[in-house]
Amino acid sequence: MPQLSVVIPCYNEEDCLAELYQRVSAACAACTEHYEIVLVNDGSGDRTWPMIQDYASRDPHILGVNLTRNHGHQLALTAGMTMARGDRILVIDADLQDPPELLKDMMAMMDRGFDVVYGQRRQRAGESLFKKSTASLFYRVLLRLSETPIPLDTGDFRLMSRRALDALLAMPEQHRFVRGMVSWIGFPQTALPYDREERFAGTTKYPLKKMVRFAIDAITGFSIQPLRFASQIGLVLGALGALLVAYVIVAWLANETVAGWTSLMAVVVVLGSVQMFVLGVIGEYLGRLYMQSKQRPLFLVQDIACQAKVDAERAARLGFVAPDATARDQQVVSLDQRQIQDGAQAIQ
């Protein structure tokens, strides 16, 4: 059993991988010799997977997991965490914005009894003003809306204990906002403030569209406030409507014929757009409910790359986080058995 697992989702990160491999390996080796690095290839179109295979063939600490397609950051992360076997699990991005050297401090804080040590950004270098300000606004809005307090300016860079990770993996939700889920599980948690660096190479894999989707996943996953918003806005509009009716009656009694087209159009347009907006909000929740009801696997694994045999228990975890053992066993059958047997165990 390795003492430490490092989980890294990689999507088109060929320019970062060499430096990443070297720095993360050094940071792990400074803490323990029993470590594994789980590199998850999230359907990259570049040389990311061949490079991971190459590292895995030379270094027994490396476990490569190749997903069948791009499943997105949060699911790639989940795939890696599912495969990790360490007593402690570090999650870090592939672009080296979060310094792996902080692992030592995180380990020391965990020794003091914390189950989760999360990196909290003091500064973010090399990111656009737009990204910084939208991210900052997002975390503050989320904190107001969410029923679980989610720490500000905290990404997925964190060290977790085995029991915290197991609790996290027992949550079967499809639309995952991992940093919020970690807050939800509880256990003693603490922050390690740090300055976020610039991306080592390449460009962000979170264009605006993905950022918006991520934000909506976060809000719908942790709050039903937007649904309540519908009734609140209904109340406000109802009160305004009552005023309008009073005005109409008074105008009628006073025999003032109102031309009325402009005000009528304004009311129709405003009401129409509010109704569409509220329907859209309900649709967001309903859509998620629908997707969740299909109970699809969270991710699918195509290949694994490592040096020794992957044990059955670990192979059973490939594919998806199933709520019960039978479903999990069925999933294993659908995987390529030969690969599991030929596959290698990253850590003895």
Residues at the contact surface with ligand UDP, assessed by CB under 6 A? 9-11, 13, 42, 70, 72-73, 76, 93-95, 97, 204-206
* Cβ proximity of 150 and 221 under 8 Å: no
74 sits near Mg ion (criterion: CB under 5 A): no
Nearer CB in complex with Mg ion: 70/339: 70
Nearer CB in complex with ligand UDP: 32/70: 70
CB of 199 to ligand UDP, least distance (A): 6
Q: Name residue 73's amino acid.
A: H
CB of 40 to ligand UDP, least distance (A): 7
Pairing of strands 62-67, 301-305: antiparallel
Nearer CB in complex with ligand UDP: 9/180: 9
Query: CA gyration radius for the chain?
Result: 25
Contact partner, 36, from Mg ion, ligand UDP, none, Cβ < 5-8 Å per class? none
Would you list the DSSP string of 172-210? Answer: --SS--HHHHHHHH-SSEEEEEEEE---SSS--S--HHH
97 sits near Mg ion (criterion: CB under 5 A): yes
Burial of 8 (0-12, 13-18, 19+ CB in 10 A): buried
CB of 47 to Mg ion, least distance (A): 19
Nearer CB in complex with ligand UDP: 41/331: 41
Would you list the DSSP string of 56-122? Answer: HHH-TTEEEEEESS---HHHHHHHHHHH---SEEEE--TTSSS-GGGHHHHHHHHHTT-SEEEEEEE
For the chain, the distance separating the N- and C-terminal CA atoms, rounded to the nearest angstrom, is: 7
> Within positions 191 to 250, which residues make up the interface with Mg ion, using CB under 5 A?
none
Nearer CB in complex with ligand UDP: 160/340: 160
Nearer CB in complex with Mg ion: 201/344: 201
Distance of CA 299 to the CA centre of its chain: 13
Instruction: Choose one: 41-49, 89-97, 262-270, 340-348; the region binding Mg ion (CB under 5 A).
Output: 89-97
95 sits near Mg ion (criterion: CB under 5 A): yes
CB of 188 to ligand UDP, least distance (A): 27
Contact partner, 318, from Mg ion, ligand UDP, none, Cβ < 5-8 Å per class? none
* Cβ proximity of 40 and 9 under 8 Å: yes
Helix, strand, coil tally for the chain in percent (to 5): 50, 15, 35
Q: What angle do CA 257, 258, 262 make, to 5 degrees?
A: 160
Instruction: Choose one: 91-99, 242-250, 252-260, 330-338; the region binding Mg ion (CB under 5 A).
Output: 91-99
The residue count for binding Mg ion (CB under 5 A) is 3
Nearer CB in complex with Mg ion: 60/99: 99
156 sits near Mg ion (criterion: CB under 5 A): no
Contacting residues toward Mg ion, per CB under 5 A: 93, 95, 97
